[in-house]
Structure 1
């Protein structure tokens, strides 16, 4: 009997060497996959000043939002396939990484905005989704009681990469150009991602093919609570990425040195790391709507009190830090949505819900690219004074704040009894 028990014993969850190694691997995969698109604002500012990209410059804002949009959109697809056929998990991780490297090398040879959109935008997004989202399956096997904290730590990886990457990329872009910058990041990714993929492993034995595909639980889709939280998440996604994409050009518009916008992007990204961990810890202990409401309040204060008056560098930096902490914490609250959903669907999986929320955010991201360009072009406050509101980005500031406030629908759903 003891031999039988030992044959099927599992390593400990929520702690231990193997669990922490998987968590560290997921952290690096997050950092490398998302850190680059989160620094796109620096590339956008650089591309907009190059003669070869002047013909279709309106496409440039769509490159960054297309990347993140496709990655988010691909989340439930990749997750469902790898959940149903577990043997594809590591294959997806490796194949996706190869596509990422191909996209970076391909973009380094681009001569038109359309080519950049196809490579740095679309191809990177496809590879990023396949490479990144199987990590959730590994994470769900290793963490249960500390799942919110684990997801928060992993999502902090994007913020960690986002601290140094914008500053480093701006230096390479200004000294050597975007072709060298893209190739340098491709080589760096290969060096850092290879060991992370090696240590990524499951806690549970992979089912033999004879057992057939594994069932994917989707009963939670009948719960109104899921759709309430998802709707708020989609609307919030319309404005979430805009500050980091436009900070460098915004800094130029208000008369600040170009480096000020890049520093602000880095501060936002590193603050997101802190906000992700705090929000993840919070939803492990309190109702998810409490965590969401705190994120909403902090985000609105950062936007309307600090970004709206950010004509001086210190004010812009304060906005960047606060926005990173509070708006960056929204994603970590996704894991907290599981608790209300379990009342009607006990078998709901965190990874499946998180990837669907990621797809919702991706929808908002894709729409926000052309929409944000239209808002800037149509800004009637431009040149009209009123601090940052008259910078040409006043409508963008207002739009970002209003979309962030949409997450309050979760709290209203709780008051109405739809969310337990």
Structure 2
């Protein structure tokens, strides 16, 4: 009897290990003879082409969305949107909705596997059509609906298949693979602000949005062919994948609290930094350089944290990104009084805070470890939902923070400007984003 119990225990441990370190947890049975006919995982031409396609779609969706700070500055200083309220909500809706609805396409692709191959194509079409429609906007409300919500829905459909397919293409290198994908938005974020700035100043809002619509469509078309699953639909097992009990687990709730609260402040610097830099009296290029520096350093941050998350416990990675980000917000941005100190903040903040989302793959495995019946591909998009909630709320909240002028004329640096409250809020939310580090020290996770 004791021998049988020991065997059952060992078998259970083996199944748990397999569920984390192999494609079995994604509905792929490697014992089938057709498995030998499929492209290899963790490498090979097909895997790298898929990764390139995923990074490109990520670059187009998020690189454009993260460049909204350029639009925010232009909208707030030019007719017909000058002086309008809730301009910041356009950008936070675009980014927030793209995160917020992520579980829906994932669930849809699992329930109806035959549509999975075409979801990203449909998303690109909706995203580009929304930008084209936004070019006819005459009010901020129109922009929120088109450039904000419409772009967000299309963007979510365009990139979320990467989450589902990634578990088929990469197993042992998944953290690094996701880091490479997330870095795509940073690379495009270097070019998009410059291009958007030039187009806005030369052609105005309507033409810029129409050129953006056509440009994003043409850039995405060559890569959509490679954005596909590794496992043929006829061989994909989808039973038992939609298990949502992890949503009530202590481990998931703790990680999700940190993830959501961190998002309440994470996006605010990229929205307001160009405008803040402009008020220092610098030209358009130098003010746009704030977003460019953040985006380019977030490329290295995403890859670095993704690489570390494959080798160390996720709370170690969270400690690195949280501690460094908090210091950069409170001390570098907070006491910034020159353009060069602002640039230094963008570099440090992009390198450390920009890699936060690269921990999601490891977080998903931690949650799965406490809920073995759960599919990692289902956990992952709910992390994005938490980020989306924080993103959407941060837009209207930032408008309120801008009016909180209690520190003005009583503090130095950015603390003494109208952005002082935003600095404090960003620092506090960034600090709470590392709550899982404390929870692990207290043996809660």
TM-score bracket for this pair, using the shorter chain length: over 0.9
Corresponding residue for residue 244 of structure 1: 270
Corresponding residue for residue 396 of structure 1: 422
Q: How far does residue 8 in structure 1 lie from its aligned partner after superposition? A: 5.5
Q: How far does residue 385 in structure 1 lie from its aligned partner after superposition? A: 4.8
Q: How far does residue 386 in structure 1 lie from its aligned partner after superposition? A: 0.6
Q: Is the 8 A contact 2:86 2:399 kept in 1?
A: no
Once the two structures are superposed, the pairs formed by residues 364-403 of structure 1 within 5 Å of their partners are 364-403=390-429
Q: Name the CA distance, whole Å, in 2 between partners of 1:274 and 1:292.
A: 16
Question: Is residue 2:350 matched to residue 1:353?
Answer: no
Q: Name the CA distance, whole Å, in 2 between partners of 1:224 and 1:113.
A: 40
Q: Is the 8 A contact 1:22 1:200 kept in 2?
A: yes
Corresponding residue for residue 298 of structure 2: 272
Report the TM-score, using the length of structure 2 for normalisation. 0.89
Q: How far does residue 66 in structure 1 lie from its aligned partner after superposition? A: 0.8
Q: Is the 8 A contact 1:283 1:336 kept in 2?
A: yes
Corresponding residue for residue 150 of structure 2: 123
Q: Name the CA distance, whole Å, in 2 between partners of 1:353 and 1:322.
A: 30
Q: Is the 8 A contact 2:273 2:291 kept in 1?
A: yes
Question: Is residue 2:228 matched to residue 1:201?
Answer: yes
Question: Where do 5+ consecutive residues of structure 2 fail to align?
Answer: 1-31
Match of 1:321, SS state, is helix
Once the two structures are superposed, the pairs formed by residues 140-219 of structure 1 within 5 Å of their partners are 140-207=167-234, 215-219=241-245
Q: Is the 8 A contact 2:365 2:376 kept in 1?
A: no
CA RMSD of aligned residues (A): 1.8
Q: Name the CA distance, whole Å, in 1 between partners of 2:357 and 2:380.
A: 9
Match of 1:217, SS state, is coil
Once the two structures are superposed, the pairs formed by residues 250-269 of structure 1 within 5 Å of their partners are 250-269=276-295
Corresponding residue for residue 166 of structure 2: 139
Q: Is the 8 A contact 1:141 1:202 kept in 2?
A: yes
Match for residue 292 of structure 1 among 318, 343, 356: 318
Q: Name the CA distance, whole Å, in 1 between partners of 2:268 and 2:415.
A: 15
Q: Is the 8 A contact 1:253 1:391 kept in 2?
A: no
Match of 1:309, SS state, is coil
Q: Is the 8 A contact 1:71 1:362 kept in 2?
A: yes
Report the TM-score, using the length of structure 1 for normalisation. 0.94
Q: How far does residue 416 in structure 1 lie from its aligned partner after superposition? A: 2.5
Q: How far does residue 276 in structure 1 lie from its aligned partner after superposition? A: 0.5
Aligned residues between the structures = 414
Question: Is residue 2:25 matched to residue 1:25?
Answer: no
Once the two structures are superposed, the pairs formed by residues 48-127 of structure 1 within 5 Å of their partners are 48-54=76-82, 57-127=84-154
Q: Name the CA distance, whole Å, in 2 between partners of 1:353 and 1:342.
A: 8
Q: Is the 8 A contact 1:140 1:351 kept in 2?
A: yes
